[in-house]
Structure formats: structure tokens, C-alpha cells
Chain A
Amino acid sequence: MNRGRAVFLVRLALLVGAVVVLEVLCRNGVIDSLAILPPSEMFDAMIERVGSGDLNEGMAQTFSTIGIAFVLALALGTLAGAVLHRVPRLRAVLDPLLASYYSVPTFIFYPLLVAIFALGKTPLVILGMMSATPAVVISTLSGLDGVPPVLLKLARSQRLGRLRTLCWIVLPQALPRLFSGFKLALSYALIGVIAGEFLLSGTGLGYAISFAYQSFDNRAMYGAMLFVLLIAVTANGLLYGWEARLSRRRSRQ
């Protein structure tokens, strides 16, 4: 525990130190203030932009897009994973595809998606889904593979029905791996949607950043950027902590 606390304190000191050094370098003019704003001003700009409400519409757009993409990816991914698990031949065919899926940068499809569905929410939702779904499929497969055959035999010998086998045996065994897939899916959906908005779109937080960049409004850009990064770090941190708590509870049992 003592060591853990030391690690935490050193990490905190490093992060705070980095911010302070950046602040000092910017204030002294070592770093050009046209390139990087001092962190305190970034923070001010963020409060200003969020407080003034001009990010509200973008936030609503971005969060709803990420939410839809994430939920669809979970539903489709678990379904596809379950089907592939049941049909080994299909799985053997698709396995190489799944293995190299993430080597293809998904964003290159975005111009095509925009051309098909026109600018708006739909191509962004699909881009987010394209980034997130395979992670869910892969984790569903590995979760289902990880259920020990002994337990399935036990379920059969107890004559459990399908639903009960699923709820009492399969899900508790597969949940940790499923959960790590869900965690990845959220961060991939978030990255996909914000990157899509950033590259080409008319609304959303990603667009707010690239618009501010293109109109040379550094203050607005850093404000929006800091806000997006804080949201992403918080969302991922919450899931990370939740997962750690789950695995601790499992190891205690």
C-alpha cells in the first residue's frame, strides 16, 4: 500500500510539474505564445467556452452520436460474436479478417460514408460503429471461449435451460473479457466520432476544434481541445476504475 501511494504521489508530482514547467516556459516567451497557450489560459478559455454555452449544441451532437454508435456497436458486436462462436466454419473464414481489421485505418472510409449518406449524423455514427464493433466481436469470442467446458457439462447435468445456462454459467464467466471489450469500444467510438467531426463535418466538438484552428482563434481552439481531452480522460478513467474494482471483487471470491 505504501509503495502504491508513493507511485501515485510521484505520478501526480510529474503531471503537476509538467503543467508548471509549461506555464513558466510560455510566460517567459521560451515557447511562442502563438503556438501554445499557457495552461492557465487554456483552462480559462475552456471555462469561458463551456460557460458561454457556444459549445452546448456541439456537445449534444457529439455525445448523442457517440452514444448511438456505442450502443449499436455493443448490440451488433455481441450478436455477431455469439453467432460466430456457434458457427465455427464462418469463424474460421472471418478470423483473418478480424485479425487484420485494425490494421486498416478506418478513417479512410469516412469520405465514402459522407458521399453515401451526406454530411450529418449518419456517417459519423457508422464511422464510430466501424471503429468499435470489431473490438466487441473479438472480446465476445474470447469471453465465450473462456467458459470452461466443465461448467457447461455441469449445466447439462443439472438440466439447466438455455436462459439459465446463459445467466448463471456463461455470463459470469465471460463478463470480465466482455467488459474489457466494451471499454475499448467506448474509447474507439469516441475517437472515431471526434476524428470524423474534426476532419469533415459541420457540428460537434471535433468540428469546434478544427473550425477554431482554421480561423486562427487559438484561445477558442485550446479551450475546446482541453474540454474534449478532459472528457475523454474522465470517461476512460471511470471505466478503468470500474473494471479494476470488478476484477478485485472477483479475485476476493
Chain B
Amino acid sequence: MAGTTPLPARRRRRFDGVALLLVCLVLWQAVASWTNGIAVSPPLVALAYLADLMGQGSFWGHVGATFAAFLMAFVLSAVLGLLLGLVLGVWRFAGEVWEPILAGFYTIPKVTLYPVVLLIAGLGMSAKVAFGVMHGMVPITLLTLASIRNLSPTLLRTARVLRLPPSRIIAWILVPSCLPDITAGLRIGFSLSLLGVLIGEMFSSQRGLGFLLVSGMAQHNVPLTTAIVLLIVVLAIAANTLMLRYLKF
């Protein structure tokens, strides 16, 4: 590139992005060749296997199971997290009492609690959903709480001076000023509830992508494991990129 006229910044960025993708593919191929495909399948094999899987009905059953559990976990996390965050943000004393407890819960290895969830909820959908909510709800609560607590007092005083009714305060002040933090919380909650559901499926389950991942390893079906990992990585990154791009306020 040196010596030629500088490419426009946008084209250069696209070039760099493609280069990054190529580097990742080359690394992947290198790992696959280095292990002779015993541990990781090369990109083309994994893609072909994935395309093959997509033609099978049973595969979509697993995708559906994961998707249903994840959707339920995320919606529950969002609703409960927003409500709890709102209450704790408005009621300051309770917020100060609960924040360190929630933050502590956020940093413990919650996997160790999964047997308890299983003992209470039994094997199946509800355990996965509960575990997803345990992961996803806390960050949504914490960020909602913080954004409400950091609301500028000037705005609230202005609202009082203008005698705005509570509905207007919520619509004109609370929502617009808290939205950026809340969407950040929802984004983290999205990823973590997916993580919770997948770990639940990996540990003990008969259905779902997490189960396929572990069963692929147990049966030494390397292309299956690699294809599922590829699918989850691409989906997670795509969802996150979309949210980053379109949920900006």
C-alpha cells in the first residue's frame, strides 16, 4: 500500500476488516492442520458440516429448544431487571442496601449453583430458563439502578418547577436520560442469559445447542463440535453488533 495515494478512510477500514477475517480463518486452519483435524475441523469442513446439519429436522429441534429457553430467559431478565432496577433506583435506601449484594452475586461463579437449580426445578426447560435469568437479570438491574441514581437533579428540579405530572416525568425525563445505560444493561443481559442457557444445556440436558456441543465431544464427532461453536460465535457477534449499531441513543 505504501507509496500509492491514500485510500479513503472507509475503504481502508473495510480492507482492514476483511484482513482481520482472513487472519482468523488462517489461524483456524493452522490450528486444524496442526492437530490433524482430530481436535478441530478446518473451516471448510466445519462449514460443509453446518450446511448439512441445517438440512436435518432434528437439528432445528435443538436450535428451537435453545432459542425458546433463551428468549424466555432474556424476556424475564429484562422485565424483572428493569422493574427491580427502577424500584431500587427510586427508593435510595433500598438501593444502597441491595447494590453490594447484587454486585457480589454478579461476580461469584454461578455455575456452582446449577445443581441447586436442577434440584429445585428438575431437569428440563425451567432449569435452563432459571439459570439464564440468574445470569442475565443482575447486570440489567445494576445498570438501571445506577442510571436512575445518576439522573441529574437539575432535570428533576426543572420538572418540579414546570409541575410536570409523573407520567410526563417518566416519558420526558426518566426514559430519555436513562436509555443509553439501560440499553447497555440489556445488551449485557442478552449475552449473559444466552451464556446461562448454554451452560445449563452443556451440563445436563438432552436437547439444545449446548447439548449438541458436549455430545459432539463425547462421540468424538469433531466437525459437529466445531460447527456448533462456529454457529454460536457468529450468531452472538451478529446479535451484539446489530444491537450496538441500532440501539444507540
Q: Are B244 and A94 in contact (CB under 8 A)?
A: no
A7-B93, A11-B97, A111-B217 known; A103+B107 contact, CB < 8 A: no
- The answer to whether B40 touches A115 (Cβ under 8 A) is yes
Closest 4 CB pairs of A and B: A115-B39, A103-B240, A105-B195, A100-B240
Known: A100-B237, A198-B203, A237-B104. A14 touches B229 (CB 8 A): no
Instruction: Give A157 to B140 CA distance when docked, in angstroms.
Output: 46
Interface string of A94-134 (1 = CB under 8 A from B): 10110110111101110110111000000000000000000
Does residue B54 face the partner (Cβ distance < 8 Å to A)? Answer: no
Partner of B112, one of A94, A114, A228: A228
B contact residues vs A (CB 8 Å cutoff):
13, 16-17, 19-20, 31, 35, 38-40, 93, 96-98, 100-101, 103-104, 107-116, 118-120, 187-188, 190-191, 194-195, 198-199, 202-203, 210, 213-214, 216-217, 222, 225-226, 228-229, 232-233, 236-237, 239-241, 244
Assess whether B112 is in contact with A199, with CB atoms less than 8 Å apart. Answer: no
Q: Are A108 and B228 in contact (CB under 8 A)?
A: yes
List CB contacts (< 8 Å) of A6-64 with chain B. Answer: 6-7, 10-11, 14-15, 34-36
Q: Which residues of chain A are near B239, meaning CB under 8 Å?
A: 103
Q: Is B111 a contact of A112 with CB atoms below 8 Å?
A: no
B17 cross-chain contacts in A, Cβ below 8 A: 93
Report which of A6, A11, A187, A195 forms a contact with B100, defined as CB distance below 8 A: A11
Number of A-B contacts (CB under 8 A): 151
**B214–A99 touching, CB < 8 Å:** no
CB-defined contacts of A232 to chain B, threshold 8 Å: 107-109
Does A150 touch B at the CB level, under 8 Å?
no
A198 to B112 Cα, complex, angstroms: 7
Quote the shortest CB–CB distance from A104 to chain B (angstroms).
Answer: 5
Q: Quick one: given A103-B190, A103-B237, A206-B111, are A111 and B97 in contact (CB under 8 Å)?
A: no
Whether A107 contacts B190 by the Cβ 8 Å rule is no
By a CB distance below 8 angstroms, the chain B residues around A225 are 112-113, 115-116
How long is the Cα–Cα vector from A232 to B115 in the complex, in angstroms? 18
Interface contacts beyond A103-B194, A105-B232, A195-B199: sample of 17 additional A-B pairs, CB < 8 Å, sorted by A: A7-B93, A35-B116, A96-B241, A97-B20, A100-B236, A100-B237, A103-B191, A104-B237, A105-B236, A114-B217, A115-B35, A115-B217, A116-B40, A199-B111, A199-B214, A200-B214, A232-B107
